[in-house]
């Protein structure tokens, strides 16, 4: 196994593309090193992208906040602008692992590990975030919901990798929230996760809403009916319950040691409702 | 046989060069190549925190970082915590409070606790417990550890006031 630490996006693409050695991209390594140690993967070359400036920066660029692929949870959590704009995305990343994990773990790693239970993926989809994906034919912008196609499976093509995320700057009276259920308070994997992002008008009526769920299907899912149940309402109890019902209806979970399908479906409704209430509260104070 | 990688780094303030295989984690390098065996391997999967070190000011698990990634960076380990024979206040308080039994988790707890107090000299008990959630101890039940950290923080605040 070789280790490469290129300083440009083009070099990463060259290393990943074609019939050459099989490469794996390294950002924080909190999943990659565990998989290497367990023999789940055996790449020919490890490509460390942390030496590339674009993967390490958080910056405002016109209508978007750009967050580099390898920005860590600790760094995003300390970024006041990111917290103010997308508190749900930041809280989703901060929920992952311990202080030690936060020192290394990244948004792109969480996305490209492609676990159905990834915490940041529902939050990013609710935020309508896109990824800047670099590849042999240049860069393209991909909605986060189009990246994972199943457990451990990505839609990225040969030679492609995620360089950064773009989070749209939210309009006034907008906010997001992410909640997950685990049977303890720290250091666990989501039984269910729910993200909500919404906007209110000056009179408090909901003008836009995106509701997402994690760990209840092979990938994180955007539940359009659950968002639609909030739009045009004052986000009262009936609308919130309609959102929860739509969330439950969208669940296609499996039974496993973390919870049964029936349990996950029930919890998905509870979390979608609670995340919606938190997002409404934040939007009213935004 | 692949040639070994040559890595230049800083460990506990000293410039250090080492040779390692790409497969070796920073923990493997610290223990097996540099004979800095204070950092322990508990789980080798980032769950237990026994290998906690600070890299460029960030607390990380040395088992989840490749040795080659240390190139050009600064690593602080438990071996850099005492000043000569003078223990760090956290080390003294761990002894006073009997905050260890078998001792395998202790270096990781000390490195992690120092990283907390470097950022927040006056943490609440809740903040201590959350910060240390990634450090597992199977002996003490954590209470003595948390009390030792809070006591060390109080003493250090007094010393600098």
Give me the domains of chain A, ranges plus CATH numbers.
Answer: 52-168 (3.30.465.10), 178-285 (3.30.390.50)
Q: Do B44 and A37 touch (CB under 8 A)?
A: yes
The answer to whether residues A126 and A178 touch, using CB atoms and an 8 Å cutoff, is: yes
For the segment A252-257, the average pLDDT, to the nearest whole number, is 96
- At A19, the pLDDT band (50, 70, 90 cuts) reads confident
Going from the C-alpha of A51 to that of each of A105, B124, B146, B160, the distances in angstroms are: 16, 36, 37, 38
- CB-nearest to B58 from A26, A74, A97 is A74
Q: How close does chain A come to B22, measured CA to CA in Å?
A: 6
- CB-nearest to B61 from A3, A100, A186 is A100
Q: Do B115 and A48 touch (CB under 8 A)?
A: no
Q: Do B66 and A99 touch (CB under 8 A)?
A: no
pLDDT at B1 over 70: no
Segment (H or E) for A245: helix A237-250
Q: pLDDT per residue over B69-112, tens digit each?
A: 999 999 999 999 999 999 999 999 999 999 999 999 999 999 99
Q: How close does chain A come to B64, measured CA to CA in Å?
A: 6
Q: Do B68 and A72 touch (CB under 8 A)?
A: no
Q: Do A104 and B112 touch (CB under 8 A)?
A: no
Helix (H, G, I), strand (E, B), or coil: what is residue A205?
coil
Q: Do B22 and A3 touch (CB under 8 A)?
A: yes
Give me the domains of chain B, ranges plus CATH numbers.
Answer: 5-80 (3.10.20.30), 89-160 (1.10.150.120)
- CB-nearest to B131 from A36, A97, A99 is A99
Q: Do A103 and B58 touch (CB under 8 A)?
A: yes
The answer to whether residues B23 and B44 touch, using CB atoms and an 8 Å cutoff, is: no
- At A184, the pLDDT band (50, 70, 90 cuts) reads confident
Mutate to test the interface with A, among B69, B116, B137 (most CBs of A within 10 A): B69
pLDDT at A47 over 80: yes
Helix (H, G, I), strand (E, B), or coil: what is residue A38?
coil
Helix (H, G, I), strand (E, B), or coil: what is residue B10?
strand
Segment (H or E) for B24: none
Mutate to test the interface with A, among B4, B42, B66 (most CBs of A within 10 A): B66
Higher confidence at residue A196 or residue B160?
Answer: A196
Q: What percent of chain A has pLDDT above 70? A: 100
- CB-nearest to A33 from B2, B25, B112 is B25
Return the residue matching tokens 């676990």: A115
Q: Which residue of B has its CA nearest to A99?
A: B131
The DSSP symbol for B2 reads: P
Q: Do A99 and B47 touch (CB under 8 A)?
A: no
């Amino acid at each position: 196994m070789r280790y490469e630490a290129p300083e440009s996006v083009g070099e990463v693409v060259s290393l990943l593309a074609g019939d050459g050695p099989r490469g794996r991209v390294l950002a924080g390594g909190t999943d990659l090193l565990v998989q290497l140690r367990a023999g789940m993967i055996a790449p020919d070359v490890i490509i460390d992208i942390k030496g590339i400036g674009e993967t390490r920066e958080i910056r405002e660029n016109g209508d978007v906040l750009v967050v580099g692929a390898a920005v860590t949870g600790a760094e995003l959590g300390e970024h006041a602008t990111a917290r103010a704009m997308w508190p749900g995305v930041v809280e989703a990343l901060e929920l992952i692992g311990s202080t030690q994990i936060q020192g290394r773990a990244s948004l792109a790693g969480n996305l490209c590990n492609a676990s159905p239970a990834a915490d940041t993926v529902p939050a990013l989809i609710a935020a309508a975030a896109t990824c800047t994906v670099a590849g042999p034919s240049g860069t393209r912008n991909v909605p986060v919901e189009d990246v994972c196609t199943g457990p451990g499976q990505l839609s990225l093509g040969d030679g492609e990798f995620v360089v950064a995320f773009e989070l749209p700057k939210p309009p006034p009276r907008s906010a997001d929230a992410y909640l997950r259920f685990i049977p303890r308070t720290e250091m666990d994997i989501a039984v269910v996760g729910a993200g909500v992002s919404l906007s209110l008008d000056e009179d408090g009526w909901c003008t836009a809403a995106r509701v997402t769920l994690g760990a209840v299907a092979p990938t994180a899912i955007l539940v359009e009916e659950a968002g639609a149940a909030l739009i045009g309402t004052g986000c009262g109890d009936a609308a919130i319950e309609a959102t929860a019902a739509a969330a439950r209806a969208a669940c296609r979970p499996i039974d496993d040691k973390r919870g049964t399908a029936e349990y996950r479906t029930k919890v998905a409704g509870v979390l979608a409702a609670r995340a919606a209430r938190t997002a409404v509260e934040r939007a009213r104070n935004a | 046989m692949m040639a070994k990688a040559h890595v230049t780094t800083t460990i506990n303030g000293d410039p250090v060069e080492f040779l390692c295989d790409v497969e070796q984690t920073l923990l493997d390098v610290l223990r097996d190549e540099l004979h800095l065996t204070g950092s322990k391997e508990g789980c080798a999967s980032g769950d237990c925190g026994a290998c906690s070190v600070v890299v460029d000011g960030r607390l990380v698990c040395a088992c989840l970082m490749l040795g080659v990634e240390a190139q050009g960076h600064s690593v602080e380990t438990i071996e850099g915590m005492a000043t000569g024979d003078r223990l760090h206040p956290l080390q003294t308080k761990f002894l006073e409070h009997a905050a260890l039994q078998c001792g395998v988790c202790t270096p990781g707890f000390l490195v992690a606790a120092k990283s907390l107090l470097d950022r927040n000299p006056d943490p609440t008990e809740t903040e201590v417990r959350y910060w240390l959630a990634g450090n597992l101890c199977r002996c003490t039940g954590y209470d003595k550890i948390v009390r030792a950290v809070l006591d060390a923080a109080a003493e250090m605040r007094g010393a600098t006031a």
